[in-house]
Structure 1
Amino acid sequence: MKKDSWIKHKEDQATDEQFWDKLMKFGKRIGEKTVYYSLLLYYTAKSPSVPKSSKMIIVGALSYLIFPVDVIPDFIPVVGLADDSAVIAAAVYKVFSHIDDSIKNQAKEKLTTIFGETSDS
């Protein structure tokens, strides 16, 4: 594997791991809707048909979710994760036209594995 592709692979892997760690750690506190929206963004970013400009919006929103430094720290009860939820919702609104049924199904399936069959998203 070339050096550049190896670095890119490692960056993608770290980002994926951080995303899944955050969802599993804070999923119940963030709530089903925000987790579902985060999953929509995640799977939309993986789609080859989505334009780079939309992927940049998604990467920005998911990065804000992943990284601990944000406007309102996550450890503050109730409001700590509200800013993360707002950023995720705004990004979904911006890229909604690229979210197809396949992406929705992937997100719903993963949401069920996180929250169980009681999910109504």
Structure 2
Amino acid sequence: MARRLNTEVYALYLAYRDPRTPLYARIFTACVVGYAFSPIDLIPDFIPILGYLDDLLLIPLGIKVAIGMIPPEVMRDCREKAHTMFPNGKPVNRVAAAVIVLVWLVLAILIISQVLRVVLQVF
């Protein structure tokens, strides 16, 4: 099942780049693929029970929704390409990785600035 899920993620990776995929599906699929390939989780894995919740529920649910948004003929073509293009490895998208890191940095800066604002108001 894990291999099939990997193949689906690779197919989605190809589908979000396919011009036949609608814009709304491209945006959602890019987010799902970026999150699936990201080493940064929404909920860190070291948190008991909840840590693996995103891996067990959010990613498969996102994949299912994304597949439903993409035309069936596009998914069929992309699954075939995924089997031939990525038999042993994952695709690398440095732009998506950079965007994910940038989003996390911006969130961290916003959180730290809010905490500092509260701390400074107390003193």
**TM-score bin, normalised by smaller chain:** 0.5 to 0.7
* Partner residue, 1:37: 8
Task: Give yes or no for the alignment of 1:103 onto 2:78.
Answer: yes
Give the paired residue count.
85
Residues 74 and 109 (structure 1 numbering): CA distance in 2 closer, same or farther, change over 3 Å? farther
Which stretch shifts more, 56-65 or 82-91? 82-91
Larger Rg: 2
Provide the residue aligned with 2:110 in structure 1.
Answer: none
Q: Equivalent residue for 1:81?
A: 55
In structure 2, relative to structure 1, the CA distance for the partners of 1:91 and 1:100 (3 Å cut) is: closer
Considering only aligned residues, what root-mean-square deviation do their CA atoms show, in Å?
3.0
Q: Secondary structure at the match of 2:15?
A: helix
TM superposition shift of 1:74: 4.4
Q: Once the 2 structures are TM-superposed, how far is the Cα of residue 38 of structure 1 from its aligned partner?
A: 0.5
1:68 alignment partner in structure 2: 40
Secondary structure at the residue paired with 1:112? coil
TM-score, length-scaled by structure 1: 0.53
SS state of the match for residue 16, structure 2?
A: helix
Q: Which amino acid aligns with 1:36?
A: T
Note if contact 1:38-1:62 (Cα within 8 Å) is conserved in structure 2: yes
Give 1:58's match in structure 2, choosing from 20, 29, 35: 29
Question: CA 1:47 to 1:80, structure 2 compared with 1: closer, same or farther past 3 Å?
Answer: closer
1:38–1:88 contact (8 Å) kept in structure 2 = yes
SS in 2 for 1:89: helix
